[in-house]
Amino acid sequence: MRETTMNEKVLADPQRKHSAVLSSNPLQIPDQQAGADSGPLVHERWLAKRILMFAGTPPIGIVLWDGEVITVDSSRPPEYQMYLKDRRALYELAINPHLSFGDLYSAGRLEVDGKLHDFFTFLFRFTEQAKPEMPLWLKAFWRDHAPRSTAIEDARNNIHHHYDLGNEFYRLWLDQAEMQYTCAYYERPDLTLEQAQLAKLEHVCRKLQLKPGQTVVEAGCGWGGLARYMAREYDVKVLAYNISTEQIRYARAQAEAEGLSDRIDYILDDYRNINAPFDAFVSIGMLEHVGTDHYETMARVIRDNLRPDGLALIHTIGRNRPAKMNAWIEKRIFPGAYPPSIGELMSLSEAGPFSLLDAENLRLHYALTLEAWLDRFEANVEHVRDMYDEHFVRAWRFYLSSSIAAFRTSGLQLFQIVLAQPENNAVPYTRRHLYQSPAAPAEENNP
């Protein structure tokens, strides 16, 4: 019998678990009330121009609090306008736009024309092409964040900040089939979000070559949808690890309701404590929270427990080259998060060492997934506002919109890699098994 972990005891004892009561502003976004500001001074107009110049001189107008429009290139009319509602917002934006842009937008002190994700898509593409040069002193101010610690206790706090916002909130805009908070697989562009998420689960299972009776370990199981899919569709035993109390509670209830509890063990514990032999390992959307300092540890956990003929799949947001996390996303949304470059991801493979069998980039699939999430979020925005407040609504709109733009413009990638023990020769020779039939469910079977 498996020993009960300390985390399991925390989940079982309401007096010891994290409080489920959330403040109306759980992201702790500052709110500076704008007073009656006088017109802009000469040096403030200069400062607004400098902000645009250091961003590569995009054709964007900064509309100051008195209505005056600041541009840099008078020969080209602005394609978008950005409105600053008060004097202090200008100075905050100048000090570090990577952090303050999101805070100002969330507080309603900054607005933009049109749809936010289109604005960011335009801005990201422009700055990537312009490659603006900034003096070293300015880079020290306009800095992004190195990820916070992801040691065991710190990782638990980081996950609580984001994933324990409440299941009701996530249920409003995620797919209704399996509550998947990761990239869907749009095998066809006309798939619904539910179909595309189920197609993702099937795509993953095919890559793992699952067979009835096998044991699968999942690290970072979210609300448990993949574990339920594997148990239901492939008749495997799943040990699913997670450190989010809200998600584990939901997952256990769903497995019980679907009659799958005998095949799934949802374990409230850290991946570093996995210590049991398994035929397959899978991690979907969790590596971003591991941190590169812990890749060797994760590789050791997989290598020590994966059977000789087993396979491992890792699905993670990534980058084309190493870069720090956006300061606002790391501070307000995903503390401790770090999307690896493909080279950093391969360092995990080398640390095993493992044989790399397959690597796929689903970047544009994630852009489509985020667009579907944002549409559902906006359709339920009044409910979200009632649950939290206007700051929270605007912060999540900002997060989802900027993420859409990042995947559209290749600022972010979505990597899926399949690994095997280096001595394993019982591996597929081709990818035929992935595409022999559609991964997406038939429409009549769609939830």
pLDDT per residue over 350-362, tens digit each? 999 999 999 999 9
What does the alpha-carbon distance between residue 447 and residue 440 come to, in Å, rounded to a whole number?
12
What does the alpha-carbon distance between residue 275 and residue 115 come to, in Å, rounded to a whole number?
48
pLDDT per residue over 289-330, tens digit each? 999 999 999 999 999 999 999 999 999 999 999 998 888 998
Give first-to-last CA distance, the chain, whole Å. 36
Question: Which pLDDT band, with edges at 50, 70 and 90, does 129 fall under?
Answer: confident
Q: What angle do CA 221, 276, 255 make, to 5 degrees?
A: 35
Long-range contacts of residues 35-39, Cβ cutoff 8 Å, at least 24 apart: 35/86, 37/65, 37/66, 37/86, 37/87, 39/66, 39/68
Could you write out the DSSP letters of every residue in 121-168?
HHHHHHHHHH-----HHHHHHS--BPPPP-SHHHHHHHHHHHHTS-HH
Computed on alpha carbons and rounded to an integer, the radius of gyration of the chain in Å comes to: 23
Answer whether residue 333 shows pLDDT above 90: no
What does the alpha-carbon distance between residue 370 and residue 401 come to, in Å, rounded to a whole number?
8
Q: E strands along 269-421, which residues?
A: 278-284, 306-318, 355-361, 413-420
pLDDT per residue over 407-430, tens digit each? 999 999 999 999 999 999 999 999
Residue ranges and CATH numbers for the domains of the chain are 42-141 (3.30.1050), 152-445 (3.40.50.150)
Q: What is the mean pLDDT of residues 85-113?
A: 95
Please tell me the pTM assigned to this model: 0.88
Query: In this prediction, what percent of the chain has a pLDDT beyond 70?
Result: 83
Q: What is the mean pLDDT of residues 87-110?
A: 95
DSSP state of 4: P
pLDDT of residue 27: 63
Do 226 and 201 meet the contact criterion of CB atoms below 8 Å apart? yes
What type of residue sits at position 178? E
Backbone torsions φ then ψ of 80, nearest 5 degrees: -140, 155
Query: In this prediction, what percent of the chain has a pLDDT beyond 90?
Result: 74
Answer whether residue 159 shows pLDDT above 50: no
* Mean pLDDT, rounded, of the chain: 88
pLDDT per residue over 187-226, tens digit each? 999 999 999 999 999 999 999 999 999 999 999 999 999 9
Answer whether residue 16 shows pLDDT above 80: no
pLDDT per residue over 90-100, tens digit each? 999 999 899 99
